Structure 1
Amino acid sequence: MTSRPTIIVLAAGKGSRFRGDSHKLEQDIGSGSVLASTLKNVLASRLPFLVVTTAPLEAATRRHVAARDVVVVPEANGSAMLGMGYSISAGVCARSDASGWLILPADMPLVQGATLVAVAQALDHHPVAYAQHRGRRGHPVAFAAELYSELATLSGDEGARRLTARYPAYGVEVDDPGVLVDVDTLEDLSAVRARQAQQPPDAARPLQ
């Protein structure tokens, strides 16, 4: 087994609540696109990672990461079998030798690399861990290798909620409000852009 957990970046959703002129992950937030900013923070963690995406976003994803770190799944299009659970399963199965997996939605561009590391470390002592800020539960959510068989059989759009309810989950308190911030709507996008505009120049440097 590998010595460190793998981050599974979920970039396969259609973003149906977002009413912009292009996919929400392709929207610019001042430090690059939403997707690029999320991947920048993932790379900063220096943890192994994999991006699960769909064909329409494959090219945008591969501009930032190697092809070996991308898994392309079918678009859900109303299928009861596809969705977030299917994406998690695809990512976990593609990295079945990992010591655990951190599930990070790609529309969370403010989650810091240090937060990812802190949650990954919690898997040394807990089967399930998640980031929280001021007591509020956020992402990523992480699962130890002992839960592989259950993660590998997920399907549909439920995600891994039933696993977090079934197993003791440990909240990792972090000084990172980004664990609570995703981009689901145009209002969310405006709020993230405003936060990014307040960052120091080095923190706002785009992913190359």
Structure 2
Amino acid sequence: MTAPAPVVLLLAAGASSRMRGTDKLLEPVGGEPLLRRQARRVIEAGLPLVVTLPPHSPARQAALEGLTLTPAVVEDAGEGMAASIRQGLRAAPEEAAVILLLADLPEIEAADLTHIAGLHRADPAAILRATAADGRPGHPILFPADLRPQLARLQGDRGARDLLAAEAGRLRLVALAGERAITDLDTPEDWARWRQTSDL
């Protein structure tokens, strides 16, 4: 029996607090809000998509309108990334590996996700973590289905860092082009610097 395709958990329930009043996930990239761009990249890769969202987020919900995805509202989003992962897992297809994808990585492409999904088919027991071309660790990260119970028990804002350490023997690094795996934009200054050099 063929294993199901990995499901992408697009983690978009953060408060964007470092943007000082604006929402980084609604910043325009290539003529559309970053959140919509990220979701479309997953859909283009042919992977099932769950998007975690904070409560009372009409603008983010509107940015996703018309796309084929499963929204997952994270009522306790203030706890941090673990709450998003737990809620996303509840909405994800059972028995599928999960790809954790941060919503503020504007340079990730559909081909990157397709590549990681292909590596998973070839080595279903491996944890696959994207890195920059020079090896600096980043996102997305694929966790095999057997680690879903551990992901579901995560707490706080450390994400899956402790699980990665505990399962280090299964970790396989996947270099992506340039710095796309580590280019996350959290502040207005980050966005301004990125726009000076990006062609997106």
Q: Same fold (TM over 0.5)?
A: yes
Cα distance, 1:43 vs structure 2 = 2.0
Q: Is residue 96–residue 148 contact of structure 1 (8 Å, CA) maintained in 2?
A: no
Structure 2 residue matching 1:9: 3-state secondary structure: strand
Number of the residue aligned with 1:108: 105
Q: TM-score, normalised by structure 1?
A: 0.82
Summarize the alignment of residues 158-169 of structure 1 with structure 2, pairs less than 5 Å apart: 158-167=158-167, 168-169=170-171
Matched residue type, 2:8: I
Summarize the alignment of residues 74-153 of structure 1 with structure 2, pairs less than 5 Å apart: 74-77=75-78, 82-124=79-121, 125=123, 126-134=125-133, 135-153=135-153
Q: Is residue 16–residue 22 contact of structure 2 (8 Å, CA) maintained in 1?
A: no
Q: Which moved more, 1:47-56 or 1:57-66?
A: 57-66
Structure 1 residue matching 2:86: 3-state secondary structure: helix
Structure 1 residue matching 2:99: 3-state secondary structure: strand
Residue 75 to residue 29, structure 1, CA distance change in 2 (3 Å): farther
Number of the residue aligned with 1:184: 186
Cα distance, 1:75 vs structure 2 = 4.8
Residue 93 to residue 143, structure 1, CA distance change in 2 (3 Å): same
Is structure 2 residue 50 aligned with structure 1 residue 50?
yes
Partner Cα separation in structure 1 for residue 68 and residue 54 of structure 2: 13
Structure 1 residue matching 2:138: 3-state secondary structure: strand
Q: Is residue 118–residue 172 contact of structure 1 (8 Å, CA) maintained in 2?
A: no
Structure 2 residue matching 1:141: 3-state secondary structure: strand
Aligned length: 193
Where structure 1 has 5 or more consecutive residues not aligned to the other structure, the ranges are 200-208
Partner Cα separation in structure 2 for residue 76 and residue 188 of structure 1: 23
Matched residue type, 2:175: E
Q: Is residue 119–residue 129 contact of structure 1 (8 Å, CA) maintained in 2?
A: yes
Partner Cα separation in structure 2 for residue 57 and residue 119 of structure 1: 30
Q: Is residue 54–residue 77 contact of structure 2 (8 Å, CA) maintained in 1?
A: no
Residue 76 to residue 94, structure 1, CA distance change in 2 (3 Å): closer
Matched residue type, 2:81: M
Q: Is residue 11–residue 52 contact of structure 1 (8 Å, CA) maintained in 2?
A: yes
Number of the residue aligned with 1:206: none
Structure 1 residue matching 2:155: 3-state secondary structure: coil
Q: TM-score, normalised by structure 2?
A: 0.85
Identity rate, percent: 31
Matched residue type, 2:126: P
Structure 2 residue matching 1:142: 3-state secondary structure: strand
Q: Which moved more, 1:167-176 or 1:106-115?
A: 167-176
Where structure 2 has 5 or more consecutive residues not aligned to the other structure, the ranges are none
Residue 109 to residue 136, structure 1, CA distance change in 2 (3 Å): same
Partner Cα separation in structure 2 for residue 87 and residue 45 of structure 1: 22
Partner Cα separation in structure 1 for residue 197 and residue 41 of structure 2: 15
Structure 2 residue matching 1:12: 3-state secondary structure: coil
